[in-house]
Amino acid sequence: MPALEIKNISKIYKKGTVKALDNFSVTLTPGIYGLLGPNGAGKSTLMNIITDNLNSDSGEVLYDGENIKKLGKKYRNILGYMPQQQGLYDDFTLNRFLWYMAALKGLKRREAKLKITSLLGTVNLTYAAHKKLGSFSGGMKQRALIAQALLNDPKILILDEPTAGLDPKERIRIRNFISEIAEDKIVLISTHVVSDIEFIAKEIILLKNGKLISHDTCSNLTKNIEHKVIEAETNKENLKYFQENYRMSNLYYNDDKVIVRLVTDTPPENCKIQEVKATLEDLYLYVFESEKKI
Ligand code: ADP
């Protein structure tokens, strides 16, 4: 089974003041990985290094045991990368954009024609092939970007925030779509939206300040906060207290009561509480948000 080994990668910016990646190591095998972390965690830096668009200061990336720098073109031939939307090709029709990207990737004409026709169908954009990208909705643009990443039938697929700027319906559609095309590929999806990857990723990689916090299945990760997720009953008057002092992942109103969902090591006393099953979103809060006063 081919593996992508990311070994002891560090990247330092601003004359040593920002460690965008700090001795980061992880090994990826075929399947979907969710790379989760807040803005500034180092996700884009990591993706740029994996896709060989950026040099690290130390460490190395190996595919099937060989350094990707040594593999060069061979590596790029098996790599698909979907960057964040930048509006670069707004004047191109989708068809022209895909032909252009196919040429950059070195596909032969015949091969490109077959691939573009089939990919337009896969991403449900055949009807829009001759429309300009500038006129596309957010979801259509994301699907166009995914299509170009798939032109060379990549073994490794790197997706940078694939659902950024999408409405919930488009988000679900893209998520299902990624899940369908992921077979036999190493897929790395960066996001700060937990629901994008909660049910489709085989493993979640948590990144904070350039450091690997954990790397595990979703169910093992949520086990770490078992017994720490509770629903507590309060009222409107006391709501502010909970908002200011606890990690609150949800709240809802029930008649004159307010039920708050908290992720905490120290449950509140003097109110009715009930333990609930932890989700990845609870874990995200637990890892990335500190409890204030308590
Ligand atoms: P993310 O993708 O998780 O939001 P990034 O990889 O973009 O995180 O950034 C990680 C850290 O590195 C941040 O503190 C960011 O400000 C810094 N950084 C990223 N790119 C540069 C750059 N070209 N020059 C200086 N600092 C940078």
Q: State yes or no: pLDDT of 16 exceeds 80.
A: no
User: Residue 294's pLDDT band (boundaries 50, 70, 90)?
Assistant: low
- 259/96 Cα distance (integer angstroms): 53
- What is the rounded average pLDDT for all residues in the chain? 92
Over range 275-287, report the average pLDDT: 94
- 186/154 Cα distance (integer angstroms): 9
The predicted pLDDT at position 77 comes to 92
How many angstroms is it from 42 CA to the middle of ligand 1?
6
Q: State yes or no: pLDDT of 85 exceeds 80.
A: no
* β strands within 211-265, DSSP E: 211-216, 229-234, 247-254, 257-263
Q: State yes or no: pLDDT of 132 exceeds 90.
A: yes
The predicted pLDDT at position 9 comes to 98
> What are 204-244's pLDDT values in tens digits?
999 999 999 999 999 999 999 999 999 999 999 989 999 99
The predicted pLDDT at position 138 comes to 84
pTM, two decimal places: 0.91
Over range 116-125, report the average pLDDT: 91
The predicted pLDDT at position 270 comes to 84
Q: State yes or no: pLDDT of 47 exceeds 60.
A: yes
User: Residue 291's pLDDT band (boundaries 50, 70, 90)?
Assistant: confident
The predicted pLDDT at position 115 comes to 95
What percent of the chain is predicted at pLDDT more than 90?
72
Q: State yes or no: pLDDT of 168 exceeds 90.
A: no
Q: Is the CB of 41 under 6 A from ligand 1?
A: yes
The predicted pLDDT at position 195 comes to 86
How many angstroms is it from 14 CA to the middle of ligand 1?
10
- The backbone torsions φ and ψ at residue 47, rounded to the nearest 5 degrees and listed phi first, read -65, -40
Which has more pLDDT, 261 or 194? 261
Q: Which of 12, 24, 44 to mutate to test the pocket of ligand 1 (most atoms within 8 A of CB)?
A: 44
The predicted pLDDT at position 84 comes to 83
Residue having the nearest C-alpha atom to atom 13 of ligand 1: 40
* Closest C-alpha to 33, from 178, 232, 248: 178
Q: Measure Cα distances from 43 to 126, 159, 193, 221, 254 in Å.
A: 32, 11, 13, 19, 39
The predicted pLDDT at position 293 comes to 55
Which has more pLDDT, 179 or 166? 179
> What are 226-236's pLDDT values in tens digits?
999 999 999 99
Q: Is the CB of 13 under 6 A from ligand 1?
A: yes
Q: Measure Cα distances from 286 to 74, 148, 168, 228, 282 in Å.
A: 41, 37, 24, 9, 6
The predicted pLDDT at position 60 comes to 97
Residues in the chain: 294
Over range 81-91, report the average pLDDT: 83
Q: Is the CB of 43 under 6 A from ligand 1?
A: yes
Q: State yes or no: pLDDT of 164 exceeds 90.
A: no
